[in-house]
Chain A
Amino acid sequence: MLDVEELERLSTVVGGSDSAVLGTTLTSCRAELQVRPGSIVDVLERLRGEGYNMLMSLHGVDYFPEEPRLGVAYELLSFEHQRRLSVKLRVSLDTPNVPSVTPTWPTANFHEREVYDMFGVVFDGHPDLRRILMPEDYIGHPQRRDFPIGGEPVLFTGNEDGNPGWWK
């Protein structure tokens, strides 16, 4: 696990000249850097230089009542230090554009498509940004917090006639 000094050192190294790092969080189970969305590619490259050579996961989070609403989290793993580090960025719904890290980290391909599909975050520079889990012509981004969960009403003998089936 990272300790405080290491996290501070990383954030200065990674922040670089353009002060990409907006903040850090350290809990007993997680070390996190919050970065500006535009500079994510540089941040990840600098972290690769620090030994974090594997991007294990890239996922979206919807912080619904708080703004900016959509978050993208990058989970990095270092083989040589056996440590994990998370990088997080937040974008709002009106400008959901994030530079894609797929050219430098090929593993992000499917992950970014999933985040686009489920949350609507648009990754600029992604070779093939289209829906991956839902049908291609689906409208809506299902995993946002204000998307209804959907589903069917439970069928009893009383209301089963009103429910359409294949023969109706």
Chain B
Amino acid sequence: MEVIRHGRVDVDATAGGAGGASELTPADKAAFRARQSRARDLLRGDLEGQDLEAQVRESVLTTTLDKASKWASGNSIFPLTFGLACCSIDLINLVGSRMDISRFGGEAMRGTPRQADMIILAGRVSMKMAPVVRRVYDQMLEPKYSIAMGACSSSMGVFNNYAIVPADKFMPVDVHVPGCPPRTESLVYGILKLRRMIQDDPEMGWRDRYRAHGTEENPRQPLMSMDELETRAAEATERERILREGGTGA
């Protein structure tokens, strides 16, 4: 007896039947033929645009290559030397022999943003410096990452005054490393966290680890769908109309 699941014949049930694994539906055969012809076109160089992308995405070999390339790029981050203030001294300490950044592949500190992957914003960003930092960040090529080292660049830090800008205001920051200045071990921890994010293996936040969802101070409202937004807008218009007419009416 044949058990049909998802349009395909169950192999185990047809042990007594003829064929087994070679019992393919016409749809499967057509799909296979399509894939085969696409592969042939690819080899000939005839595939272009969307077809090429679809082919590449589907082939298993490239997905593994993707993971491998991410692993490699996570292990060879080129930091950009952007030492501003006190944190920069601990940044140079990172290159030193006690906390060797070279064991993570990051000792090639680049002076130019064009060749760098990661900007470590070490130090307080003043009002005059913020456009300069943004310009340097814009000059970096994708994929680029940024670490805000220290309390002054992550938030205002010790100095809550007219002269300092937190880095979140003018550029996207991937990892914030707290401390004033952060111990070099903390910075290494931040770089390793970034590395896991690059390698598509982001660490769980503490709420995941401790299953503490729902403990936020002000739980965010879930995003509304388009229909819901339209219904709410219609209700509001209705209420306004009633108010207006009710006011002028009776």
**Which stretch in B9-17, B165-173, B180-188 binds the other chain?**
B165-173
| Total residues of chain A contacting the partner, CB 8 A | 18
Set of chain B residues within 8 Å of A155, measured between Cβ atoms: 155
Whether a CB of chain B sits under 8 angstroms from the CB of A49 is: no
Q: Is the CB of A167 within 8 A of B166?
A: no
Q: Is the CB of A166 within 8 A of B170?
A: yes
Whether a CB of chain A sits under 8 angstroms from the CB of B244 is: no
Listed residue (B128, B162, B170, B216) with the most chain A CB atoms within 10 angstroms of its CB: B162
Question: How extensive is the interface on chain B, given as a class?
Answer: 10 to 19
Q: Is the CB of B162 within 8 A of A157?
A: no
Within 8 A of A (CB), among B130-174: 155-156, 160-164, 166, 168-172
Partner of A149, one of B127, B162, B217: B162
Q: Is the CB of A150 within 8 A of B217?
A: no
Q: Is the CB of A142 within 8 A of B169?
A: no
Within 8 A of A (CB), among B204-233: 216-218
Q: Mark A145-161, 1 if CB is under 8 A from B, else 0.
A: 00111111001111000
Q: Is the CB of A167 within 8 A of B172?
A: yes
Set of chain A residues within 8 Å of B164, measured between Cβ atoms: 151
Whether a CB of chain B sits under 8 angstroms from the CB of A127 is: no
Main secondary structure of the interface of B (DSSP, over half): loop
Q: Is the CB of A148 within 8 A of B162?
A: yes
Alpha-carbon distance A156/B168, docked complex (angstroms):
15
Given contacts A157-B217, A158-B217, A158-B218, A151 and B156 within 8 Å (CB-CB): yes
Given contacts A134-B128, A135-B128, A158-B217, A151 and B160 within 8 Å (CB-CB): yes
Whether a CB of chain B sits under 8 angstroms from the CB of A65 is: no
Set of chain A residues within 8 Å of B218, measured between Cβ atoms: 157-158
Which residue from chain A places its CB closest to the CB of B216 in the assembled complex?
A157
Q: Is the CB of A134 within 8 A of B161?
A: no
Q: Is the CB of A150 within 8 A of B161?
A: yes
Main secondary structure of the interface of A (DSSP, over half): loop
Alpha-carbon distance A149/B163, docked complex (angstroms):
9
Which residue from chain A places its CB closest to the CB of B171 in the assembled complex?
A166
Q: Is the CB of A166 within 8 A of B162?
A: no
**How many whole Å from B224's CB to the nearest CB in chain A?**
15
Q: Is the CB of A156 within 8 A of B217?
A: yes
Alpha-carbon distance A151/B162, docked complex (angstroms):
5
Q: Is the CB of B168 within 8 A of A166?
A: yes
Set of chain A residues within 8 Å of B168, measured between Cβ atoms: 165-166
Whether a CB of chain B sits under 8 angstroms from the CB of A164 is: yes
Given contacts A135-B127, A157-B216, A152 and B172 within 8 Å (CB-CB): no
Given contacts A157-B217, A166-B171, A152 and B128 within 8 Å (CB-CB): no
Which residue from chain A places its CB closest to the CB of B172 in the assembled complex?
A166
Set of chain A residues within 8 Å of B172, measured between Cβ atoms: 166-167
Contacts A/B (CB < 8 Å), 15 sampled: A135-B127, A135-B128, A147-B162, A149-B160, A149-B162, A150-B161, A151-B162, A152-B155, A152-B156, A152-B166, A156-B217, A157-B218, A158-B217, A166-B169, A167-B172
Chain A residues with a Cβ under 8 A of chain B? 134-135, 138, 142, 147-152, 155-158, 164-167
